[in-house]
Amino acid sequence: MRIEPYEDSQLDTIKSLSLRAWSPVFDSIQKAMDIEVYHSFYPDGWRVSQLNAVESVCTTTDMKVWVAIDSDSTVGFVAVKLHSESSMGEIYMIAVDPDYQRLGIGAPLVEFALNWMKAAGMSVAMVETGGDPGHAPARCTYEKLGFGLLPIARYFKKL
């Protein structure tokens, strides 16, 4: 597996693998969240929202995106945003193709991003993820790589 800078020709592949990777995550979020609130967040469905989010991340100039390549196939990606005013790098988005999960793709993507942030002069790295069961593998990866949890309670109510 190798990690390379993202190229525009990889967008459709990244969008496709992202939907497959995040399907169980959004199923878990839907079960954990009030259904009316969930539908307020995703009125056109989570897939439309995520496709737009992935495309935005890959085409926004203040994001840096890399892809994981295995046997000439794009199997994952990571997007990083730098917050220079606070010297913080943020892992803004990450996904690994479900066919390649638990095969050592996610952790190297995160480590690559961390090394790049450090080389860019950042002193802190941050990644945000859900506390629901669907995000458990992501939390495990971040904790194994030394991230510490900041307990935050975020409440929602449909108006």
pLDDT, tens only, 45-84: 999 999 999 999 999 999 999 999 999 999 999 999 999 9
Across the range 90-94, mean pLDDT stands at 96
Task: Please state, in angstroms and rounded to a whole number, the distance separating the CA atoms of residues 99 and 54.
Answer: 19
Report pLDDT digits (tens) over 44-53. Answer: 999 999 999 9
| C-alpha 125: how far from chain center | 14
Residue carrying the six token digits 């737009």:
52
β-partners of residue 4 are 67
Percent of the chain past pLDDT 70, that is, above it, reads: 100
Sign of the alpha-carbon dihedral angle for 89, 155, 130, 51:
negative
* 57-to-2, 4, 6, 70, 126 alpha-carbon distances in Å: 21, 16, 11, 22, 17
pTM over 0.95: no
